[in-house]
Amino acid sequence: MCYNVKALLESQLKRARRNGMNQDADALQQELFSMGKGNYTQVSGFTYPELIIYNNSDNRPLHSVWGLVPQSVKDNDPTIFRKRFNTLNARGESIFTSPAFRDSAESKHCLLYVDGFYDHHHYAGGKYPFFIHLKENEPFALAGLWAEWINPSTKAKLISFTIVTTSANKLMTRIHNNPDREGPRMPVILDEVMANEWLKPNLTPKGMKEFLIPFPDDQMEAHTVKPLSGKNVIKNDPAASEEYRYEDLKMEG
């Protein structure tokens, strides 16, 4: 799964700047900085952070919230829905049948650019956090779905998204061994060619299969980091993704 990411603001805006949308990028950067949001060395999806996505309506950077709230939700407060349903991730194999995601599956696709993501390895009764990234340490795109929810009372608009996941590659199979989960998973990572393809509309269940191929593990690296949660953990610690060794951790393979 993918519930923690490192997503620096400049990394999230890289696609916009590469496509010549500097004015849009500058406006979003100023808006999020003024609110003290958007620039994350480590952030949990369970805090419903504000991040930048690129959707397939106009491919522009868009201020969004992690944790998809489908258009069908009738409550005035989206937190009511979030307490009942975890929509931070969407299993790619079932997005066309899941009530929360099927309205977005066909045509509401988006990209989230991150520097890496965090996951835990279970060993001898403990959980050991890992930071996973590309070998070249460049930002990369995660496949997502987005939705636009309108508050029934105030008519305020909320743009939200979920990260699509698939079966794990060899690297993530070694790390993601949660005994309470059904099989190891990882986010759908896209190179730039596939990222552009993902934003095209009218995806079918058959066409979805080409995006669910796990990203090559020989292009990725991972290392253990300090604990991600607890009373002594610094929120959004600049050193969150730095390597930290656990002498008692023994991994096979």
Model pLDDT for residues 5-24, shown as the tens digit of each residue: 999 999 999 999 999 999 99
What single-letter DSSP state applies at residue 117? E
pLDDT of residue 253 exceeding 70, the answer is: no
Residue of 203 and 67 predicted with greater confidence: 67
Q: What is the pLDDT of residues 167-179, one digit of tens each?
A: 999 999 999 887 7
Domains in the chain with CATH codes: 4-224 (3.90.1680.10)
Task: State how far Cα 128 lies from the chain centre.
Answer: 20
- CA gap 242, 225 in Å, rounded: 6
Say if residues 215 and 135 touch (Cβ distance below 8 Å): no
Which amino acid type is present at position 75? D
Residue of 225 and 76 predicted with greater confidence: 225
Note the pLDDT of residue 238: 94
- CA gap 238, 244 in Å, rounded: 14
Q: What average pLDDT score do residues 61-67 get?
A: 95
Backbone torsions φ then ψ of 194, nearest 5 degrees: -70, -30
Note the pLDDT of residue 79: 86
| All residues at 6 or more sequence positions from 41 whose CB lies less than 8 Å from its CB, including other chains | 6, 8, 236, 237, 238, 239, 240, 241
Say if residues 163 and 142 touch (Cβ distance below 8 Å): yes
- CA gap 136, 32 in Å, rounded: 27
Strands 126-134 and 140-150: unpaired
Average pLDDT over the chain reads 92
Q: What is the pLDDT of residues 95-113, one digit of tens each?
A: 999 999 999 998 899 999 9
Torsion sign, CA atoms 110, 14, 172, 219 = positive
3-class state of residue 14 by DSSP? helix
- CA gap 101, 105 in Å, rounded: 6
Q: What average pLDDT score do residues 128-139 get?
A: 96
Q: What is the pLDDT of residues 180-202, one digit of tens each?
A: 777 899 999 999 999 999 998 88
Torsion sign, CA atoms 70, 75, 80, 84 = negative
pTM for this structure? 0.95
